[in-house]
Structure 1
Amino acid sequence: MVEQLRRRKKRKWVLDWIRRRDQLGASARLMRELAEEDPKGYRNIMRMAEVKFEELLEMVSPLIRKKDTVMREALSAKTKLEIALRYLSAGESLKSLQYLFRVPHNTISTFLPEVLGAIFEVLQPYIKVPPSTDEWKAIQKAFECRWNFPNCCGALDGKHIQIMRPKNSASLFFNYKGTYSIILFAMVDADYCFRYIDVGRDGRSSDSTVFRNSSLNAAMEQNFLNWPTGGLFVGDDAFPIQPYLLKPYSHRWLSDEERIFNYRLSRARRVAENAFGILAARFRIFCRPINLSVETIDLVVKAACALHNWLRVTSTTYYLPQGSLDMEDPTSGEPVLGAWRQEPTAMLPVDRLYSSNNYKRDGEEVRKRYARAFMTDLAVPWQYAALRKS
């Protein structure tokens, strides 16, 4: 028996083709070639220009760099970051990334949460609720100038991020669409930036908990936001109408005044829809159920949102992926939906939310005032095309 064990071929510590990572892996060859010869191709793979990658690498390196040991050399921070960004941008499996970068998939699964957490940590300052009245006023001015909706401080929306069923979760993450998900709730400014995110509530959660139990809602109700008098948010029909949150009229046989209000509100609230569209078009990981632990999926969402904001704020050549935005027909006012909505596993809307009767009555009064104003002193010439829709 001892002789048989001795004759057995010893298992290799590292496979030969993985050993050649520093010479032939994507980080050593392909990424370098693209950076030098095909900047557009590099941006397509990393979802950012090389100069932005280097900037990000400098920020996250202290958090993800490891020391070499006597047993082996540590994986470089550069390779780790490239793998994490490629995972977000393409949604590839870890085994696919294993062969591209010559890094074992179990090694990737170990460092991926660390890298995603580091990205969110260094870029988290780019996702912040405005701390001052002046910043809220700047957002209001942008909504009024670009989307013709005065006093709007942000557009609210919630989406299901589809996931593979977690082990031993029973029906915890099972949502109304028959899939498994966590929820991303966000407040978006006029430039498609996420100013607040709430990530990780399970897809089975009661709809009344998503907005009502968010820290943003608590801050609004306790008047901690330092926003201007008359400031408000806009949302779709899933949200409760409140004095500081307007939603469209949803009953049948709308009057012209109500239809105009819905049209004007939709122009402002689609900013949030389109922010999710940009996110899904840029980071294709959101176009299929994510097969990671729930804790790591939370980091995926947070890192992607932070990268989105950082690139929009700091890149002079930031581009919008084709099909990531809803457009508007200039003659009829009809929305032309972005191609991202056709993805079968793209982000799904969150269902109806809770509303109290007192807030509902006060919110109705605010909505009526806006509806009247949009027919008089706040009217815009092209809005009447909305009345001609069948």
Structure 2
Amino acid sequence: MNDRVFKETFRMSRATFEILCEYVKGITKQDSCYRKCIPLQKRVAVAVYTLKSSAEYETVARLFGVSKAIVSEIFLAFCQEVWQSLRPIYLAEQLSNSEKVDECVHGFEKLGFPQCLGAIDGCHIKVRPPGKDCTDYYNYKGWYSTVLFALVDYRYR
């Protein structure tokens, strides 16, 4: 599959996909005497495609030549591994502390948002794209941008 089709299929470049594989290599399985394991790249592809498409497990299973049970197992393991490996890098320490989480949930409840931990929003920031890969920056509004996402607690922190 060429790079354009890969990016359309998985919504990320091959380089980003390989970086993600490095972060989640904990989902790798060992070959047994009876069968070979599903390679890491295929496991990540199954999980990313499931997230990207919101397709039913049966559809993903047919696309990747595995069973629905395997899709379910891979998806759960992938999500848990992403949480374990990327949480310390991308989430503030406060979200790892159960007292802070309870405080945030309670604060949002007072504001009329039950069972809410944070508010997230994003915006497009106009940029001049690099000559190479400039299509990666072209947005649906018809101009070049990068996307900024922000997550805040009930006090806008």
TM-score, normalised to structure 1's length? 0.27
**Deviation string, structure 1 residues 124-180 (Cα, Å, up to 9, x no partner):** 12332378xxxxxxxxxxxxxxxxxxxxxxxxxxxxxxxxxxxxxxxxxxxxxxxxx
1:346-361 equivalences under 5 Å are none
Following superposition, the deviation at residue 80 of structure 1 comes to 0.7
Counterpart in the other structure of 2:88: 125
Q: Given that residues 47 and 74 in structure 2 are in contact (C-alpha distance below 8 angstroms), is that contact kept between their aligned partners in structure 1?
A: no
Aligned-pair CA distance for 1:78: 1.0
2:75 alignment partner in structure 1? 112
**TM-score of the superposed pair, with normalisation by structure 2:** 0.62
- String of CA shifts for 1:281-304, please: whole Å, max 9, x gaps: xxxxxxxxxxxxxxxxxxxxxxxx
Alignment match of 2:21 (pick from 57, 64, 78): 57
Please list, as runs of the form range in 1=range in 2, the aligned pairs for 1:24-63 lying within 5 A after superposition. 33=1, 37=2, 39-61=3-25, 63=26
The aligned counterpart of 1:72 is 35
Q: Could you tell me how far 1:217 is from its partner in structure 2?
A: 3.3
How does 1:1-390 map onto structure 2 within 5 Å?
33=1, 37=2, 39-61=3-25, 63-129=26-92, 214-215=101-102, 217=104, 239=111, 272-274=120-122, 319=137, 322=140
In structure 1, distance between residues paired with 2:24 and 2:135: 22
CA gap of 1:216–1:318, structure 2 versus 1, over 3 A, is farther
The one-letter code matched in structure 1 to 2:8 is N
Shift >6 Å, 4+ stretches: none
Task: Report which of the two has the higher share of helix.
Answer: 2
Structure 1 residue 216: deviation in Å?
A: 5.1
Q: Percent of pairs identical after alignment?
A: 17
Separation (CA, whole Å) in 1 of partners of 2:48 and 2:139: 16
Structure 1: distance between partners of 2:15 and 2:135: 11
Distance 1:95 1:53 in 2: 23
Rg (Cα) greater in structure: 1
Matched residue SS, 1:73: coil
Residue 129 of structure 2 corresponds to which residue in structure 1? none
Aligned-partner residue type, residue 274 of structure 1? G
- Cα–Cα, structure 1 residues 121 and 86, in superposed 2: closer, same or farther, change >3 Å? same
CA distance in 2 between counterparts of 1:321 and 1:120 reads 28
In the alignment of these two chains, the number of paired residues is 122
Q: Secondary structure at the match of 2:122?
A: helix
The amino acid across from 2:17 in the alignment is: F
| Post-superposition CA distance 1:255-286 (Å, at most 9, x none) | xxxxxxxxxxxxxxxx93437xx9xxxxxxxx
Does the Cα contact within 8 Å between 2:28 and 2:39 map onto a contact in 1? yes
| 1:72 match: secondary structure | coil
**AA at the equivalent of 1:86:** Y
Instruction: Determine the C-alpha separation between the residues in 2 that align with 1:86 and 1:216.
Output: 35
Shift of 1:320: 7.9
Q: Which runs of no fewer than 5 residues in structure 2 stay unpaired? A: 113-118, 125-133, 142-153
- Contact 2:27 2:78 (C-alpha < 8 Å) held by counterparts: yes
